[in-house]
Amino acid sequence: MPRRGSDEDNSADDMYRQLRHMAASDPRTARERLVELLNGDSPHLRQLLDLMTPPSEGRLRQLVANTAGAVRENKQLRDRLVPHLLQWQRFESDEFAKPAINAALRGVDPTAYTNGSVSSGDVAAGIDVGDPLFSDQDIEVYRWVAGRLCHRVRNHLELPAAYLADAIHGAAAIEDDAVRAGITQTLIEAQQAFRQIARIVDFNIGDEHFIWRAVAIIPWLRRMTETYRSKHEPIRLEVTGEMNEPGPSIMATDLLLEVVFWNLWRNAAQEANGACVVKVKVSVRDKKVCLLLGDDGPGFQASQVSEAFKLRLSTRGEDRGRGLLEVADAVQRLQGTARIVPIGNEYRIELSFPIA
């Protein structure tokens, strides 16, 4: 990492870009850096926090909220963040930043930080003043479902975009018969990829997709993996454990289970750059179904254990990293737990759910 220089030498824009990059690639260091800025009473702190206000900066607002929670016992440091958190809370739309902000402001008296134009009830609820067109519950459900649909679409835009980039590059380089033939083939492949996306975003599914029921998890995983194979990478599933199918059942909905395992299968395929084997070891402990997951990839690093399922952790760019947070949210809705556990020299995901 390049030298930061003093906080006085760095502009707010420089500090913002630096923190934004760290928040995506190394959340723990980003939180430590923010605490440094608070301790140093940086003259650019207010401007830096103002740069985090746009809707697209939910990751940074979540970082600030988590930092405020970490320094809860240090009132002086926390008070520097609370006014911005109160401001963001009223309009927050990011599903991960919103609960982090609410948690950071738990027990805070908003009248001590505002001019009284916003009531404590409005601030605590995190809603705008006035008569809403929709209830809070309607908005939460819409954001939850829409966010996952958008995440799925973004994941699958990569392949057709790459095909089209190759076609444009080829057309710009030279226009002879051979090139035209190559471009035609590439465009056909791009068209097929876009058709794949069309199938994914087709939301024509029945109500049973949302109904809570007892789900035999092993057969369900086999069916889901076959569906995944038909649309994406040729993943192969290996299930082990001291039980015969159908094995244990959990109370779940197809939607929540798909959020969990579609994301995890996608992550495994990305790490393997395509075809891979996903291994699931099933056991029952203390009236819970436990699933230990492994794949062809290297697993998690020791430094990532405390951050996984809590922050947007990604090695693939600043705008990525929602997958594990979506998994954590869905697992929580299923009354389960998600954690990283050591297996030999590796760190792997273990999920557990109450047995039905």
The Cα–Cα gap between 101 and 93 comes to 11
Query: What are residue 285's DSSP bridge partners?
Result: 288
Q: Tell me if 278 sits within 8 A of 238, measured CB to CB.
A: yes
Per-residue model confidence as pLDDT tens digits over 319-346? 445 778 888 888 988 989 988 888 888 8
| Chain-centre distance for alpha carbon 47 | 27
Q: Please report, in angstroms and rounded to a whole number, the separation of the first and last CA atoms in the chain.
A: 50
- Whether residue 182 is predicted with pLDDT greater than 80 in this model: the reply is yes
| Chain-centre distance for alpha carbon 216 | 27
Q: What is the mean pLDDT of the chain?
A: 77
Identify the pLDDT of residue 326. 86
Q: Tell me if 294 sits within 8 A of 279, measured CB to CB.
A: yes
User: In the chain, pLDDT over 70 holds for what percent of residues?
Assistant: 78
pTM of the model: 0.51
Identify the pLDDT of residue 292. 94
**Half-sphere exposure of 189 toward its Cβ, with a 13 Å CA cutoff?**
15
Q: Does domain 208-354 bear CATH number 1.20.140.10? A: no
The Cα–Cα gap between 83 and 76 comes to 13
Identify the pLDDT of residue 280. 94
Q: Which two tokens stand for residue 296?
A: 């062809």
Of 31 and 243, the one with more pLDDT: 31
The Cα–Cα gap between 239 and 32 comes to 41
- Whether residue 220 is predicted with pLDDT greater than 60 in this model: the reply is yes
Identify the pLDDT of residue 353. 95
The Cα–Cα gap between 222 and 206 comes to 21
Identify the pLDDT of residue 307. 67
Q: Which of 271, 270, 279 is nearest to 297 (CA)?
A: 271
Of 32 and 150, the one with more pLDDT: 32
